[in-house]
Each structure stands twice: as structure tokens, then as C-alpha cells.
Structure 1
Amino acid sequence: MPGSPLAAWGRLRRSPRLEQSLDGVDSRLGHHAASVRSRVMNIETTRLILRPWMEEDREPFAAMSADPAVMEHLLPLGDRDRANAWIDRQMAHLAEHGFCFWALEEKESGAFAGSVGLVKVGYEAHFTPAVEVGWRLARAFWGRGYAPEAAIASMGYGFEVFGLSEIVANTAIHNTNSRRVMEKLGMCHDAQDDFDHPRMPEDHPLRRQALYRLSRDRWTATVLGQ
């Protein structure tokens, strides 16, 4: 599917720069390579860079997270301290597991554009343990196809580098924009999988969540064409 979001990881996998970096880490670190690679590397797509967090990301992340439009379908982070704590958790997750919700940078401008990546689901539900893909973009970068471009690269990293068997995503039932992105990514939805988010109050409008899944087999068949 040339030109579609599902082609992004295929282009990334064939990047000589990425392959040389992976080979170099593998040869030096042996069986520790997978965890170290993600800590020292950027993931690059045609227009974006997914990278570890830096101190200078804290201010634009806090500003993005204070934007009601960005946070419409997410629990608010509140003040700057809570936004900083969220970044700290991502950095700790990266150190422990080798992946996280990375900082997202626009290649052309070098500007902070948001956060996209993978994390282990941090609550108990019928589909856990699981790894989820997620995204949060600053409003200035909406409408450019950045969410699916970065998400497909994140999932490719999870499947191809870490050998994950499945990646999930969830959002509020009425969040049609995010649900369209999940469908663009080739993820599958079964209404019987939908669930009440255990971290949301019972009367919260975001409590009911739609769950999407993408298996490694479907990834291989759909994205890699094998």
C-alpha cells in the first residue's frame, strides 16, 4: 500500500541508517541489544522523529497538556508538576522496558509536536497484560497525518524489535477521530471487547472505552505483505 500510513514502517525498516545502527548495537551488546537499542536510538519516519525525552520538552508538553482541545478525550494532567511527573514516568518506562510514549519531533522544523509510542497497560482489564499504542499531538500539528505515521512506526518497533505478539489501543467510545486512526493502522474492533476504564469514575463520560487490537500475524500480512 504505497503512500498509506501502513507503508511507513516498511520504509523505515529498509533505511540503511536504521539497519546499520541496529547491527552495530547487536554486535556489541549481544542479548542485551533490544533493551539498549531503544534507549539510545531515534525512530525516524518520512516526516517525524520519535525520540527519548529531553529537558527542553517539558515546557511545550505542559502547554499541550493544558489545551482543552488536546485533552478532550483524556484525563487532564492538571498543573506543571503533574505534566513533569508524566514525562518522568515515560523515561522510567523506557529504561525498564525499552519503549515508552516517546517525544515526537517534526523533522522539517525541529519543533516538539507531541508524544506517540508504546507502553505496558498499567491497570487490570480483561485484555491485560498488554502493550498499547497511543498518541497525543499539539493542536498546531493536527490534520497532517502525523498520528498514524508515528503510530505505525511505533508498532513496527514493537513487533520487529521486541517481538510483541499483539498491540492494543483504546479510546472513549465517542472519540471518532482516534477510532479512525486506529482503523487506518489496520487494528480490529470487536464491540464485545469494549470495557469500562477502571481509572475513570463510574459517571465519567470517558469511562466506556472501545478496544482495538492488532496481532503480529495481521501486521505481517497487512504491512509487510508476507
Structure 2
Amino acid sequence: MSEIHTPRLTLRHFDDDDVAQMAEINADPQVMRWVGDGSVGDLEQTVEAMERWEEEWDEEGFGLFAVELRGSGELAGFTGLSVPTFLPEVLPAVEIGWRLGRQFWGQGYASEAAHAAMEFALQDRGLDRLISISRVGNEASENVMRKLGMTLERETTHPEYGFPLRVHAIDLTEFEA
């Protein structure tokens, strides 16, 4: 897979140089409050997560992209595709998601990166549908979902943690790349 370039971002595979920056993002309680049980991650957990992300590329032919600012080369976080195995009721499905460091919030980077990942899903991987899952209350992520043209498909409950979730979806045959 080659890199994907948007006007302000490069989407690419993670490399060893990204570990420290991604660990900083995962250690921020404000970033992680909507992820899993809301716990922050440390360096070792970040390395393990990044290894799983690369394995998904090998197994599924898609995965999470590192999101890099073109101007500075700084790692902003990730966007991309994954199989949401934690929520069996939506399977088979492919989820689009994102996680950016707090200093990159509110600048349109998540929408720009996710839009490019949607184009990749449709044009390069031939997927015809994507979902995105958010905790109820995560208005910033739901705003990105709306910008991407996704609509609310269902509300459910996280099977492990018990909090309410919203599942948004888009039929990529209607997506305008």
C-alpha cells in the first residue's frame, strides 16, 4: 500500500518512530475518555496495539493509517479501517475510526483523514459499506460521522462495559469520493 495524500495530511503505515508520539496520545485522559473503558494507555500497551494494527493489515488487507501532518511531519494520530470484534451484533462489518492528539482537535483533520480512508475503502478495497461506533455523548466523533455522510443505524450497549453506543453507517455506493 502506498501513502495517501490529502491537502494537509499523509496517511501511511506506522513505523517505529511513531511509538513515542502515539504513546503520548494514548496517555492523554481527554483523548481516551471515549475509548474502551476510558483508561489511558502506556508505552507497552501502545506498542502492543500498534502490532495488532499491523497484523490487521496482513489479515484483512486494510487497517489503521498513521496520520501525519504534511507541513511538519508530526504524527497527529490515526484513522482507518478495522473489524469491530468487540461488538459481535454488527458483524460482519468494517468500522472506520480515528484518534487524534488533543492539539489536533477542531481543525478538520479527523474529517479530512477519514474521508481519505473512506475513498481507500471504496476504491482500493472494494468495500460497499462502513460503520462507525461511538459512545453516546461523544459529540465530536458524531460530528465527523455526519460530515462523512453517515447516518444513525442503531443504538446499543457495549457488551463488556455496559455504556450506551451509537452505530452510524454509510453505503459507499452513495459516497462521493
Q: Aligned residue for 2:79?
A: 116
C-alpha displacement of 1:77: 4.7
For the 8 Å contact 1:77–1:83, the answer to whether it is kept is no
Work out the percentage of aligned pairs sharing the same amino acid. Answer: 34
Q: Give the Cα–Cα distance (whole angstroms) in 2 for the partners of residues 67 and 123 of structure 1.
A: 23
- The equivalences for 1:57-72 within 5 A come to 57-72=18-33
Q: Which residue of 2 aligns with 1:201?
A: 161
CA deviations 1:148-201 (Å, max 9, x no partner) are 0000110110011111120000101111111111001000113xx111122x32
Structure 1 CA distance, aligned partners of 2:122 and 2:72? 29
Alignment partner for residue 213 of structure 1, among 157, 169, 174? 169
C-alpha spacing 1:46/1:82, structure 2 compared with 1 (3 Å): same
Q: Report the secondary structure of 1:57's partner residue.
A: helix
Offset at 1:47? 0.5
How many pairs are equivalent? 175
C-alpha RMSD over aligned residues: 1.3
Moved more, 131-140 or 117-126: 117-126
For the residue of structure 1 that corresponds to 2:30, the secondary structure is: coil
Match of 1:138 among 97, 101, 105: 101
Give the partner amino acid of 1:196: T
Whichever structure has more helix as a proportion of its residues is 1
- TM-score, length-normalised on structure 2? 0.94
Rg larger for: 1
* Runs of 5+ unmatched residues, structure 1: 1-37
Say whether 1:85 aligns with 2:41: no
- Counterpart Cα distance in 2 of 1:217 and 1:91: 28
Q: Is the 8 A contact 2:29 2:40 kept in 1?
A: no
Name the counterpart of 1:11.
none
Indicate if the aligned counterparts of 2:64 and 2:82 stay in contact, CA closer than 8 A: yes
Which residue number corresponds to residue 44 of structure 1? 5
2:169 is paired with a residue of what secondary structure? strand
Q: Deviations over 1:19-76 (max 9, x none)?
A: xxxxxxxxxxxxxxxxxxx2xx111111101100100100010011001111121133
TM-score normalised by length of structure 1: 0.74
Amino acid at match of 1:132: E
User: Deviations along 1:60-117, whole A, 9 cap, x unmatched?
Assistant: 1001100111112113353211111000001111122222111110000011110111
How far apart are the structure 1 equivalents of 2:150 and 2:87? 21
- The one-letter code matched in structure 1 to 2:52 is R
In structure 2, stretches of 5+ residues that fail to align are none
Q: CA deviation at 1:122?
A: 1.8
